[in-house]
Amino acid sequence: MLEIQNTLVSLDLAEQFFCCDIEKCLGQCCIEGDAGAPVTETERDTLNNILPEIEPLLLPAAKKKIEEEGTSYIDEEGDLVTQIVEGRNCVFTCYAPGGICQCAIECKHAEGRTQGFRKPASCALYPVRLTEYEKFTAVNYHRWNICRSAEKNGKRLGIRLYQFLKGPLTDHFGKDWYDELCEACEAYLAEYGDKE
């Protein structure tokens, strides 16, 4: 583990190569799984506020689900997550030609229609997952078979996980934190080399 300020960061962020290959995975991380994306109460409130801007891109079943049950719910583990429809789609998914799953929030953000909100932090940071403890935050890599193409693509391009997530990690933790992470990852790799 790497200790960066008040976080403990998995060595996977330094060791693992990663770069999304959307043409191969088709955005499956937004449509697979048994629960929606984790959101904070603040993010839920923001989603509710910007919903009128996003709604035109949503699937009919998603619109109905949100109308009946809201944008989020508490899952079996007690976490606040986005609603899902048809047993798989996050309510905020939409589809591009070729069946590529997209985030309706992010699409509308690109148009400047979401009050600066790109998407929930758990989505922006994926495949990194955060676990909050009393005295620190754990920063871990969530391994999932559907991301094998991203691992292969990252290795081909020479992009490590911490590099791929520069923007989201900086947005979440701040530039000073990310700069420290880079220094720690580079020092670790210089000493211990490639574990792949």
Long-range (24+ apart) CB contacts under 8 A made by 185-188 are 185/2, 185/13, 185/14, 185/160, 188/2, 188/11, 188/14
Q: pLDDT tens, 169-182?
A: 999 999 999 999 99
* Predicted local confidence at residue 23, as pLDDT: 82
- pLDDT at site 114: 93
State the Cα–Cα distance between residues 50 and 25, nearest whole angstrom: 28
Q: Which residues of the chain have pLDDT under 50?
A: none
d(CA 159, CA 75): 34
Beta bridge partners of 103: 93
User: Exposed, middle or buried, 156 (CB in 10 Å: 0-12/13-18/19+)?
Assistant: exposed
Q: What pLDDT was estimated at residue 130? A: 93
At residue 148, φ and ψ (nearest 5 deg) are: -60, -35
Question: CA-CA distance, 170 to 132, in Å (whole number)?
Answer: 18
The helix/strand/coil state of 59 is coil
Q: What is the pLDDT of residue 120?
A: 94
Nearest to 26 by CA among 118, 83, 97: 97
CB 149 within 8 A of CB 2: no
**How many residues belong to the chain?**
196
Question: Which pLDDT value is given to residue 194?
Answer: 62
- Work out the number of other CB atoms within 10 angstroms of the CB of residue 137: 16
For residue 73, what are the CA distances in angstroms to 25, 78, 89, 168?
27, 9, 14, 24
What is the pTM assigned to this prediction? 0.85
